[in-house]
Structure 1
Amino acid sequence: MTRISRLAPLLGLLLVACGGTGQHARPLEIDDADAWRAICKDGTRVKAVREQGICDDHHGVAMWMNKPGEAATAEEATN
């Protein structure tokens, strides 16, 4: 019985720590300056952190809406 009474505070702390705050976490947000944004061929608008595969599930890219700052700067330098 004394073992249980010694573990009670630890168990209480564990329950509180695992219970969370009761608030749901926000979905992952991508900063627009770092995002690739495109309209896919089926009309779906997508935003991603990588260009590769951005519209694979939607029949490919129809039009780019935004390129991240680094990619846009590199493209301007080559033109």
Structure 2
Amino acid sequence: MASDALDASANNFVAHELPSGMILDLTAEQYARDWALAQFYFHLMPAYSILRREKVELGKADYVAHMLPYIRPETIPKG
């Protein structure tokens, strides 16, 4: 999908039905920003806590690996 197609679909409407029967009427952008992102982090935090409780070495660096291409090569620690 081209990025302009994604931008164009941001204003499409999504009807999201909750288990209680309530229906949220949102644009695709609102759904992603206000519902899906919150749901993602809500489930991520317990998973992170469980992994840490089980002694899995997991820290901030594991969440920002996508930033590695932006590091200035001369600032990488030697050793």
TM-score range, shorter chain: under 0.3
Q: TM-score, normalised by structure 1?
A: 0.24
Structure whose alpha-carbon radius of gyration is higher: 1
Greater RCO, CA 8 A, separation 6+: 1
Q: TM-score, normalised by structure 2?
A: 0.24
Q: Which has the higher strand share?
A: 1
